Every structure is written in structure tokens, then in C-alpha cells.
Amino acid sequence: MSNVITEQLTQAGQKIEHNSFAIVDNEVGSHDAYSDSEWQIVRRMIHATADFEFNGLCQFHADAIEAGIQAIHRGAPIVADVEMICVGLSKPRLSHFGVTTHHFIADEEVIRQAKIENTTRAVQAMRKAHQKGLLEGGIVAVGNAPTALLEVLELIKQNAVRPALIVGMPVGFVSAAESKEALALLQTVPWMITQGRKGGSTLVVSALHALLALTEARQKNAD
């Protein structure tokens, strides 16, 4: 039986999405490196990009899926590095679990402080999210700015905060791969990453939608 909240809203949309997933499963080849739940994440990312290289580029902390499901189930906030992630996430799916999204990249105080300290807006945005208490127990979603991810890692290193899950998938050529390599060394906070330069907001949104679907399936099985 299909999910109700996290499915496409029309039968036509559902059919297209399900057929797309079937094509991915048929063409992808072996994906034995991933658990069934992890594959739900990877498959949706491939579906969103038509890029089969993510079968292998995606990497998961051992507790990532369970941590994500539990965080969504309790309505943990999602803190994104850019507005695009917040816009891309389905509002009905989020509201079903009481999940709110937040970004501060365009905040006037953030911009002013970045200029004063000669840092990036992404760094200051994560500091503001921390000041507001959104990072502790929240889901951090980074698809664009490696400096946002590095700042969160620094806050964790200082024992200032402990997110429930970090979805670290910044794209680019400067510090993107390195920031994800640093995240992959983290043991105390669950994470999921895309290795190397590839990443982006679309992938983060896809991963979170897959987590929402997994959470709904868990919820339905418990009823």
C-alpha cells in the first residue's frame, strides 16, 4: 500500500513516479552496498538527477536513517544553508510531522556580521541558527555552501551543539569535497553525504523527501 502524505497528489503523478523508480531499479545494476532504507534515499536522488553515479557516491553513517526517521517523527526543525532547500521541500509532507524549515542566508544581521568578520554569510547563518537553538537536535541540510558545513562541524567540535542528523551534500570546487570528507570522519552525529564535488540542493531535497516517506511508512506500520 502506498503512502498517503508523501506520495504524489494525483494518480497520474504517482504512476509516473513509480514507473521512474522501476526504471532506476532496472537500470542501476548492483546496489548491495546499501541497506533497503539507504537505497530508498539513493534511488530518489538518482530519480531527481538522472545520474546513476550516485549509486556509489552516497555514503551513510550507520545510524543516519534511524536518526533521520526519529528526528522527523518528533518534528525536529530543518536548518538549511540556502532558501532553495526550504522552497523545494513539500509543505504538506512537512506539516504532517510538524517539521519547520529555517534558513538565514539572506538575514540582514547575518549579512552585516559576515562583512564585519570577513566570513561568509553561510558561516554566520549557521551561527544564528545555533543562537536560536535550532541546531541542537535538528536536521542540518547543506547543499550549496561548504563553509556552512564546516561551521557546524566546528560547533560540534566545541561541544556547543549536537544535531540529530547532518545531510551534507554541498556542490562545488572549493572545499566541497573536503568538507564532506571531514563530516564522514564524525562518529558522534549521524550524517549522509555525497562524496566528491557532486552535490546540490536538489539532492538534499530528494534525500529529505525519501526520509519523510520512510517515516510515514514507519508511522503507518505502527498504527
Question: Looking at 47, 61, 102, 130, which residue is catalytic?
Answer: 47
Q: How far apart are the first and last CA of the chain?
A: 14
Contacts of 161 (CB under 8 A, 6+ apart): 130, 135, 136, 152, 155
Active site residue 47: yes
Measured CA angle at 55 (ends 198, 204), to 5 deg? 50
What does the alpha-carbon distance between residue 85 and residue 91 come to, in Å, rounded to a whole number?
12
- Is the sign of the CA dihedral 83, 179, 148, 129 positive or negative? positive
- Give the strand order in the sheet containing 165-168: 58-60, 191-194, 165-168, 139-142, 78-80, 101-102
Q: Which residues are catalytic?
A: 47
